[in-house]
Amino acid sequence: MLLAQISDLHVRPAGQRYKDAVDSNRMLAEAIAHLNGLDPRPELVLITGDLVDEGLDAEYEALWDLLAALEPPFLLMPGNHDDRETLVRHFPEHAYLPPRGPKHYVVDRPPLRIVALDTTVPGDHHGEVDAAGLAWLETALQGGRGAPTVVLMHHPPFACGIPYLDRYMCRDPGRLEKVIGRFPNVERVLCGHVHRPILRRWAGTVLATCPSTATQIALRLRTDASPASFCEPPACLLHHWQDGAMVTHTSYIGRFEGPFPFA
């Protein structure tokens, strides 16, 4: 079973640019063409938040129009740039999204189970999970009865060492780590938010973050580094469940020289 993940689309109203720098809508269209062209095609596309840039109706309209071209089914979740109620209003056909409050949900795609945990704090850019969210997660994981599970969170629950990202991580990750650590069937925790591919062992599982389909945030590890973004190649992640294990690939979106002979 092949899952694809894209993240941080930052869609703008039709005709407007993201940060006055790039055409994030065109870049999403390119990401969609890339996903549609994969062989084998992913069975499901996970879209891990920051679907749009400012939570505007006009942005969700543009998002809906763009995603209509995506051929595999897809799951949405909010990030800190989304307005979660506006999102739900524009995607009524995505009935797994709760109508009110945090957009936690479970989707079973045997043999895998997808558990999405909404880490957003309306009006803020950092992430947080309250006691009700933790209790919801525990129940959702118990309900899987050991099925291999992928947990989606927009905000990564760890400091990655890039100072201007770590200010906006998911706060107080210890309680979350305890809950997830009790379920060895969690194969991956998949995040967005940081616009970079990062890996970490966390809560007894593998945590991976996804690049953005738009700009990538600068990899700067000095504690006094100033924030910046670059037009590094956008990418998606492909999570391949095969022979009882998950293998994660990074698939770059764009035209590159090749193919060249291998041997």
Q: How far apart are CA 77 and CA 79, in angstroms?
A: 7
Does residue 118 touch Fe ion according to CB under 5 A? no
User: 19: number of CA atoms within 13 Å, CB side?
Assistant: 14
CB of 99 to Fe ion, least distance (A): 25
Toward Fe ion, which CB reaches closer, 50 or 118? 50
Toward Fe ion, which CB reaches closer, 112 or 153? 153
Residue among 4, 5, 6, 8 that touches Fe ion (CB under 5 A): 8
Q: How far apart are CA 102 and CA 100, in angstroms?
A: 7
Closest CA to 87 of 109, 68, 62: 62
CB of 8 to Fe ion, least distance (A): 4
Does residue 50 touch Fe ion according to CB under 5 A? yes
Which span (16-24, 47-55, 163-171, 217-225) binds Fe ion, by CB under 5 A?
47-55
CB of 81 to Fe ion, least distance (A): 6
- Residue 2 CB neighbour total at 10 angstroms: 16
Which span (18-26, 48-56, 141-149, 176-184) binds Fe ion, by CB under 5 A?
48-56
Interface with Fe ion (CB under 5 A), residue total 2
Which span (26-34, 46-54, 110-118, 242-250) binds Fe ion, by CB under 5 A?
46-54
Contact 86, 122 (CB under 8 A): no
Torsion angle defined by CA atoms of residues 50, 54, 58 and 64, in that order, rounded to the nearest 10 degrees: 0
Which runs of consecutive H residues, i.e. helices, occur in 56-155? 57-67, 84-90, 131-143
Which span (11-19, 50-58, 97-105, 153-161) binds Fe ion, by CB under 5 A?
50-58
Strand 235-242 relative to strand 2-6: parallel, antiparallel, unpaired?
Answer: antiparallel
Rounded to 5 degrees, φ, ψ at 255 are -105, 125
Toward Fe ion, which CB reaches closer, 140 or 217? 217
Toward Fe ion, which CB reaches closer, 8 or 59? 8
Please classify residue 217 by burial: count the beta carbons closer than 10 Å to its beta carbon, then call 0-12 exposed, 13-18 middle and 19+ buried: buried
Q: How far apart are CA 239 and CA 128, in angstroms?
A: 26
CB of 212 to Fe ion, least distance (A): 6
| Residues 171-230 interacting with Fe ion (rule: CB under 5 A) | none
Toward Fe ion, which CB reaches closer, 4 or 11? 11
Which span (3-11, 95-103, 153-161, 232-240) binds Fe ion, by CB under 5 A?
3-11
CB of 66 to Fe ion, least distance (A): 16
Closest CA to 137 of 154, 170, 114, 115: 115
CB of 163 to Fe ion, least distance (A): 17
Contacting residues toward Fe ion, per CB under 5 A: 8, 50
